[in-house]
Every structure is written in C-alpha cells, then in structure tokens.
Chains A and B, each alone.
Chain A
C-alpha cells in the first residue's frame, strides 16, 4: 500500500524540469536577481565584495528586516499594512519620551525606569495594532484604508510627543541592542536574525502559521472550515505592529536620535523586501525565506549603488525600475504557477 502510494506520488511529481521550474518561479527569480546584482557590483567595484561590506549590508537591512517579519504575516493573509513606518516611528519616540533626556532637550517628557519605558512602548504599538485589527475585522474597513488612517494617527501621536524637537536618550538595553555589538557582530543584526528565524518557525511549524497560509490561500474556504478568520486577521495586524515597534525602538538607538518622520523610507523598503522576495500579494504563498532573499536584494542594491560611480539622482530611478521588475515577476509567478498546475 505505502510503496504503491509513493510510486504514484513519484509519477505525479516526475513531471519534467520545465513545469517544476515554472511552479517554483516565485522562489527562483528573486534568488537569481540577488546573484546577478551581487555579481554585477562585485565586478563594478572592488570595495563591494568584502567581508566588511557584507557587515555593512547586514546592518543596513536589520531595521527593515525586523519590520518585514510582521509584514510578511500580513501579506501572506492577502492584507496590507501601510502604518508600519509610522508605528515604528511613534514607538521609537515613545521609548525616548519615557526616558530621562539631557537638560537641553526641550520636551515635556515623563522619565520612567528603563524596563517600564520599554514595556509601555510595546504596549503602545500593540494597542495601535489592535486598533488596526478592530477596524479591519469588526468594522470591516479594508486594511489598505484602515492602515492609511493609522499611518496618520501614529504620525500625529509622534508629533504631539516630540513637538518638533529631537530626543537622544533611550533605555540602556535598547541602546545596547540598537548600537552595540558582541564580538564584532552588531546586536541589531542578531536581533533581526532571531526575529526572522522566529517568524519562520511560527509560520512553518505552528498551527497558527498554517492558519495564516490557509486564510491567505482561500479566505472563504477557511471560513467554511470553521476557522476564526477574523481572529487570525486581527492577530497578524497586531504582530505586524509589534514587530514595527521593536524595529522602531532599535532603529532610534541605531540612528542615535528620535524625531518626527525618521522612518518614512521604511514603509516602501519593507513592502519591497517582502514582495521582491516573492511572497504573493494575493496571499497564501511565500514566507520568511522569501523575505530574507528580498531583504538581501534590497540591501545589495542600496549598498552597491553607493559603491559605483553614478549620478546619485539616477540611483533613485534605478531602484524604482528594479522594484518594478520584481513586481512584474511576482504577478507573473502567480500565473505561471497556475499554468503549471493546470
């Protein structure tokens, strides 16, 4: 019985290389992009392919990486979170707000012990995520709109907390994790790696992770299977906000200051990392592995462009074009897969 079954499975799987590659396009294309970009920059600039520079790239993508963990959950559910950068920003500002600042910093802040400051900040971002979740599931506002509003709300809270000023001090633990290093490896890289690994384990090996994929794959079927779809959607919105908050706190320590609009570029970067990596915008396909590849594509691109000699204004356009190419591949990969499954 068992052996005949494997023979059957084998026969079904032995469908030739071409269809297999077609169905795996989503995973292969980003990887090829990464190899191509790396080879190109290594060729174009001697300072690119060095161990030091690899360290730079890793550090540069860390904050994006931390934020992208939560966003991967959201996009796997076929939703979107546009408030990630604002929530990162407000959480970073909050943790500074609850820390004693130097006397020249002109903010009416509330100094608290470090641990309390951290806990309160995390509660704040979790709360904002919960508001996103309730708007999406209870009221039924599309996530695109709901999180657009949250983007403004979080920016508004940030503005009220710092009132145009800049704060510098954050709790010691956050300073260490954001800007310290252990035997040469920056803590922030380690934190990003741990969170990415954690996200991967949750998505691959837990019941909740399976639910995320199933809800993203076919929401109607998930409901007819008796899953609590709203609860799962709500949970991913909160996870996304908390990851953003952690990224924001460490980011503030990493940059050395907390101020308004500090994280604006992280919205696009995080979405780009997830999508360039091959996670389907239609939900249900992809994962943290894809996000990691996407992070590297983005990191290599941003870093590599600084190593070659081109007009810095042209760089922005080049980035845009490469992102467009990746998006086209993302959408095509979906179609090719459907064809391969035909």
Chain B
C-alpha cells in the first residue's frame, strides 16, 4: 500500500542542545498513520531525545513541529497526550506504590457521579485489558511487588490501550522474554491495522527488521539513513549506525555453538539446595574461577531472586552458600561485598545515584580501598576517568551528573563501579540490556578479560543471545528450578528456548 499520504507527524530541522552539547542536529522525521517506524543508533545517538521532544517532555528546541500539517508547540507532556501521543519511556516510569489497576488507569480512573473512584470497575477493566495482552496478575496487587519485566509489560499495555494514535516505544523489549515479545509484536501489528502510527526503538536489529515498515538510523545526533525495512539488512544497518563494517557484530546464534571443555579450576561459589518461598526450589550449582556461567530463563523464573541471594540482599529460606569453600550467610550486601561478591542488577534506577556525578557513582563501592578516613577526590576522578575511557562512556566527563547520560551509558557506569578492584565472583544481571551493538561487543570483551584474570562470573539473562555470547556453561532455570545444564556440547538459541 505505498500510496503517497501526508504524514500525521512531521519534524523539520530539529536541533536540541543540552547546554553546549548538541544532542540532535537538524533532524527531519516524518511519521505516517498505519506505519511501524523503527529507530536504531548507538548509545547517546539522540533517539530518546527526539522521542521526548515528540512526547512533550523536552519543550525547548529549535525546528518545526507539525501535527496533521499544522504547526504545533507542546508545552508539556499533557499537551502531547491530548494530541493523542503516548510513550513508553526507556526508564520504567510506573508508580510502584500504586496497584496494578491504578497504574493501568493512571490519570483517567473511572469515577462515578460523585467523583469517587469506581474501584471494582477499574479492577475488572484493568484485568481484562491485561488479559488481552496475555498478562495474568491480580489487578489489586502493588505494582512494585512484581518483577521488573512484568512491570514493564504492564506499562506497555497501558500505553498501547490508551487509545493514542501515535505510540512511541523506547526499548520496550529489553526486559521481555521471547513469547512476550511475540505477543507485543502481534499487538503492534493489530494497532497498525487500526491506523495507529508506532515508533519502535531497539538495539535488537533483528526485531526492528521483523516488525517495522521503515527504519531510521541515527548517529551522533544526526539522521544518517532512512529506508524501507524490506530493502535493508542487519549488516547494512550496523554499518550505518557505527560507521564501520559490522560483520563481527552480526552473530545471531541460530546455528549450533560448541561450548568448551568444562574447566576444573577452583570452585569459587558453591550453592546447595537453595530455596526461597515460591521463587526458588532446591537450586544447586557451582561457579569456577576463570569461567563464565550463564543462567538462562524466562522472565519470572527466579533469576532475579537468585542474584539477590548471592549478594546478600535477600535471605533464602533454605540451602547453603559457600565462597571458596567457606560457608556464608550474608547479613547484608556489605558482607557479600567483603566476601568478594559483586552484583550488577538489571535496573539502573536501583544501582545508580542520578543526582551525583559520574565519578562518585564509580567510586562508591571502592571508597574503602582508596581512603580510610579522608576522601581522595583526585584519585577518585582518576579511577573514574580510566573506567570511562576503557568502557568508552560518552560524554567522557566524570564530573557530569549521571542523570545526563543516555540510558546505555548509564548501564556502562553500573558495570564500571566493580571493575577497578575486581571481586572474586561477579554476578551480572542483563549486562548488555540497553546497549548498542558496539557496546555489547565491548562488554563481551571486558567479561572475557575478567575471566582471563581468574574471576568467576555468573551472567543471568532472559535474552538467549546475551547468555550465548558470554557463557562457557549454561544452566536453564524454569519456574524456580534448574532443569537443564549445557556443557561441553553444542547449544543454540532454539535449544535454549526449548529447554526453558
């Protein structure tokens, strides 16, 4: 149906700077009804910034902004909402203390003649909406009590069913498991049939190619390409994104991959019969020095809880845990850190101090190594600068408040804080979530380097690619129990999915 239609949204020559730094330079962007428009680009390329302009979050910028051909200027996100624009932000923006139902109806709860909230009706309708999307939760539970992936799904559902005609999804699939991604795509296609315009941002190029009609590539604040999805390929897109050949980064893990001979180096962590109410059942495994152990499973399979137990944030109901042969019951995360365990959780919000500069974020977990009483800010900055350089964090300014970094760069800072004095056991939850292809590759290299230095590393992920790209041995976790171990044998994405 490639007839010429006028776009419902058109941006011309958009330039946006934060202070002196230009995040967008002269970008043109058009969106048509009944279109799914994919957006790709490196971390910090300006994708989120452009979308926040469309959604009325950033109101100061230069350039023309037209809706249905009429010049418009939003003064707030509320204006954008009134114009039929809804957005799922990269950073989860739910209200954790409200119930699921309240979150679904945030801002327009059904009320009766007296203006009182109709709880029963709200709960029923919320339940129905979520069920249509394949989510089965009690609408009256507190949202914050649900796993982060489920929270993300609920937020997506809220936006998709808000009746908006322009829907923006900024990295919505980062916490979802394959079946959920499937369901999301089906819903997107249905909305497209109904005439909505959808923007879909992702670092998963295959997903972009699969679901979108048009792809736009950003680099360094500029739009560098716009093509029909059918007319491009993964390699071409990566090349446009990073400006060099992307062959090495193209691996898609559909073919069998041979896992190496199992190692017989020292056991760093031994977990025996670990259990936690309904989340984990008799989980036992070992992690060895110089080995990357991957733990794969769908969202809600107990990965999150397992990682928290290893870092002393949760206490198991039963089972034991030993580090280098010594039994441990961690009374606090501080005790776990002292025992040589480090954790990078999947949520940046939980891990980082957004109002503090980058260097304080990097140094916080090693302060006791560099100072006994008095702080040594120069040394802190030097350490941070080295990490920023090694991980290629952009912009490379350690004095900048963390909140000013793009999502992917924040993720790198979360990793950076453990690298100066590497622990014995490093637990990484979704280590490459939100990172562009180049950065993912950097992380793979860093993890391999740490492995070579003799660390035991555990990678927990709901993305098969992440586990396959990093792990030497893979455990599959299903509803709280370990159901399969892959070692010294061929493994592929399909085999993993099958086991989970």
Chain B residues in 8 Å Cβ range of A207 = 367-368, 371-375
Verify if B364 is at the interface (C-beta below 8 Å from A). Answer: yes
User: Does the CB pair B353–A217 fall under 8 Å?
Assistant: yes
Q: List A144-166 residues whose CB lies under 8 Å from chain B.
A: none
Chain A residues in 8 Å Cβ range of B365 = 225-227
Verify if A264 is at the interface (C-beta below 8 Å from B). Answer: no
User: Does the CB pair A220–B367 fall under 8 Å?
Assistant: no
- Closest chain-A Cβ to B371's Cβ sits at a distance in Å of 5
Stretch at the interface among B18-26, B432-440, B490-498: B18-26
Chain B residues in 8 Å Cβ range of A337 = 355
Given A214-B353, A223-B313, A224-B345, the answer on whether A8 and B371 have CB atoms closer than 8 Å is no
A323 to B57, CA, bound (A): 33
A206 to B373, CA, bound (A): 6
User: Does the CB pair A13–B19 fall under 8 Å?
Assistant: yes
Q: List A201-216 residues whose CB lies under 8 Å from chain B.
A: 205-207, 209-211, 213-214
B20, B57, B332, B365: most-surrounded residue (chain A CB, <10 A) = B20
* Interface residues as binary, B400-444 with A (CB distance below 8 Å gives 1, 0 otherwise): 110110000000000001000000000000000000000000000
User: Does the CB pair A210–B404 fall under 8 Å?
Assistant: no
A132 to B42, CA, bound (A): 50
- Closest chain-A Cβ to B98's Cβ sits at a distance in Å of 18
Of chain A, the residue at the smallest CB distance from B372 is A207
Chain B residues in 8 Å Cβ range of A228 = 332-334
Verify if B81 is at the interface (C-beta below 8 Å from A). Answer: no
Verify if A230 is at the interface (C-beta below 8 Å from B). Answer: yes
Verify if B391 is at the interface (C-beta below 8 Å from A). Answer: no
Stretch at the interface among B6-14, B162-170, B254-262, B336-344: B336-344
Of chain A, the residue at the smallest CB distance from B355 is A217
A213 to B360, CA, bound (A): 11
Verify if B69 is at the interface (C-beta below 8 Å from A). Answer: no
A205 to B376, CA, bound (A): 8
User: Does the CB pair B313–A226 fall under 8 Å?
Assistant: no
Given A207-B371, A214-B360, A226-B342, the answer on whether A221 and B353 have CB atoms closer than 8 Å is yes
Say which residue of B19, B349, B397 sits within 8 Å of A15 (CB atoms): B19
User: Does the CB pair B19–A12 fall under 8 Å?
Assistant: yes
Of chain B, the residue at the smallest CB distance from A12 is B19
B342, B353, B374, B396: most-surrounded residue (chain A CB, <10 A) = B353
- Closest chain-B Cβ to A18's Cβ sits at a distance in Å of 11
* Interface residues as binary, B312-352 with A (CB distance below 8 Å gives 1, 0 otherwise): 01000000000000000000111011100011010001111
A10 to B395, CA, bound (A): 12
User: Does the CB pair A230–B375 fall under 8 Å?
Assistant: no
Verify if A54 is at the interface (C-beta below 8 Å from B). Answer: no
Q: List B357-398 residues whose CB lies under 8 Å from chain A.
A: 360, 364-365, 367-368, 371-375, 385, 395-397
- Closest chain-B Cβ to A231's Cβ sits at a distance in Å of 7
A284 to B364, CA, bound (A): 14
Say which residue of A14, A214, A227 sits within 8 Å of B334 (CB atoms): A227
Say which residue of B338, B375, B417 sits within 8 Å of A225 (CB atoms): B417
Q: Which 5 residue pairs are nearest across A and B when measured between Cβ atoms?
A: A226-B337, A11-B20, A15-B19, A228-B334, A225-B365
Interface residues of A (CB under 8 A from B): 5, 8-16, 205-207, 209-211, 213-214, 217-218, 220-231, 284-285, 337, 341-342
Query: 6 interchain pairs (CB within 8 A)?
Result: A9-B399, A221-B353, A223-B333, A224-B351, A226-B334, A341-B355
Interface residues of B (CB under 8 A from A): 18-21, 57-58, 311, 313, 332-334, 336-338, 342-343, 345, 349-356, 360, 364-365, 367-368, 371-375, 385, 395-397, 399-401, 403-404, 417
Given contacts A8-B395, A210-B360, list 8 more A-B pairs with CB under 8 A: A206-B373, A207-B371, A214-B360, A223-B313, A224-B350, A228-B333, A285-B355, A341-B355
